[in-house]
């Protein structure tokens, strides 16, 4: 409220009041300090707020969506998060698996971020090779989508008109399209059979993601950064199932 503290020269509604009748997204809810958790619980429980410096209680109707990368159950057990607030927020919990557990999403996300970054920098989208997509799919991405986005943006900045290059250090063997590690022979060197298997799985994954489309915008050839005719010949050579309905 105006005059509630130095610098408060006019009335100003808070976030909950602004979101009345709508939805408020609370990011990193696990980082909220204990004294704020108590205030938040009251708002959620009573559906009312008081402006700083005001004596009037205002009713609100706000839907809350909260997100966190912490395990709130463990935070409750450790005494860092209020149990009553945890249960109040856990009306309809949704768990989103980390990127390393949905590796089929990595390639399309990377391609999206490449186009997005290139547009923002007002330059042509760099070429993304199949080997690069395999490399990205083999990384665990502990920082999830944000880490992938930052890595792509950095690579686009450094590309200087050439193909994208990433300096990543996967902790273990690169995974296949199914998410299982590839077996490797010798000092991390793939055999010819394993390379062929990896290429085949990559093509099958691309065909699944594009609904079997090979040619044209949004096709598997574009996703794999290959010429459509080359991809068609590799599909034939690797005996990729006709059940992919590629066209």
Is residue 5 one of the residues assigned to a domain?
no
How confident is the prediction along the chain (247 residues), in pLDDT tens digits per residue?
776 777 777 888 889 999 999 999 999 999 999 999 999 999 999 989 888 877 788 899 999 999 998 899 999 999 999 999 999 999 999 988 889 899 899 999 999 999 999 998 888 888 888 888 888 988 889 888 999 999 999 998 888 777 788 877 544 444 444 444 444 333 345 566 766 777 777 788 778 777 888 888 777 777 776 778 877 887 877 777 645 444 4
Residue 224 near residue 201 (C-beta atoms within 8 A):
no
Helices then strands (H, E): number in the chain? 10, 4
Is residue 4 one of the residues assigned to a domain?
no
Is residue 151 one of the residues assigned to a domain?
yes
What is the pLDDT, as a whole number, of residue 247? 46
Kindly report the CATH number assigned to the domain that includes residue 61. Answer: 3.40.50.300
Kindly report the CATH number assigned to the domain that includes residue 180. Answer: 1.10.8.60
pTM of the model: 0.53
**Domain residues for 51?**
15-89
Q: Are residues 142 and 84 in the same domain?
A: no
Q: Are residues 72 and 122 in the same domain?
A: no
What is the pLDDT, as a whole number, of residue 172? 45
The domain boundary residue, chosen from 66, 89, 112: 89
Q: Are residues 79 and 103 in the same domain?
A: no
Q: Are residues 151 and 238 in the same domain?
A: yes
What is the pLDDT, as a whole number, of residue 236? 79
Q: How many CB atoms lie within 10 A of CB 145?
A: 15
Q: Are residues 80 and 121 in the same domain?
A: no
Q: Are residues 42 and 135 in the same domain?
A: no
The domain boundary residue, chosen from 70, 89, 108: 89
Residue 70 near residue 63 (C-beta atoms within 8 A):
no
Q: Are residues 76 and 153 in the same domain?
A: no
User: CA-CA distance, 100 to 105, in Å (whole number)?
Assistant: 9
User: CA-CA distance, 56 to 115, in Å (whole number)?
Assistant: 51
Helices 192-209/106-120 angle, 10° precision: 70
Is residue 21 one of the residues assigned to a domain?
yes
Q: Are residues 192 and 119 in the same domain?
A: yes
Domains in the chain, number: 2
């Amino acid at each position: 409220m105006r005059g509630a503290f130095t610098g408060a020269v006019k009335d100003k509604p808070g976030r909950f009041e602004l979101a009345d009748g709508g939805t408020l997204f609370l990011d990193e809810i696990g980082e909220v300090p204990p004294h704020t958790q108590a205030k938040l619980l009251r708002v959620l429980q009573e559906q009312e707020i008081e402006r700083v410096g005001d004596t009037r209680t205002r009713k609100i109707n706000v839907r809350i969506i909260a997100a966190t990368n912490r395990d709130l159950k463990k935070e409750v057990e450790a005494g860092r998060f209020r149990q009553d607030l945890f249960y109040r927020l856990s009306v309809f919990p949704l768990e989103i698996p980390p990127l390393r557990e949905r590796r089929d999403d990595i390639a399309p996300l990377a391609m999206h971020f490449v186009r997005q970054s290139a547009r923002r920098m007002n330059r042509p989208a760099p070429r993304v090779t199949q080997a690069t997509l395999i490399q990205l799919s083999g990384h665990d991405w502990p920082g999830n989508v944000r880490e992938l986005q930052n890595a792509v943006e950095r690579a686009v900045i450094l590309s200087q008109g050439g193909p994208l290059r990433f300096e990543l250090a996967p902790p273990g063997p690169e995974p296949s399209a199914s998410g299982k590690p590839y077996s490797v022979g010798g000092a991390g060197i793939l055999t010819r059979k394993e390379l062929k298997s990896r290429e085949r799985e990559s093509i099958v994954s691309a065909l699944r993601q594009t609904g079997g489309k090979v040619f044209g915008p949004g096709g598997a050839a574009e996703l794999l950064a290959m010429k459509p005719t080359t991809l068609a010949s590799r599909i034939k050579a690797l005996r990729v199932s006709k059940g992919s309905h590629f066209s």
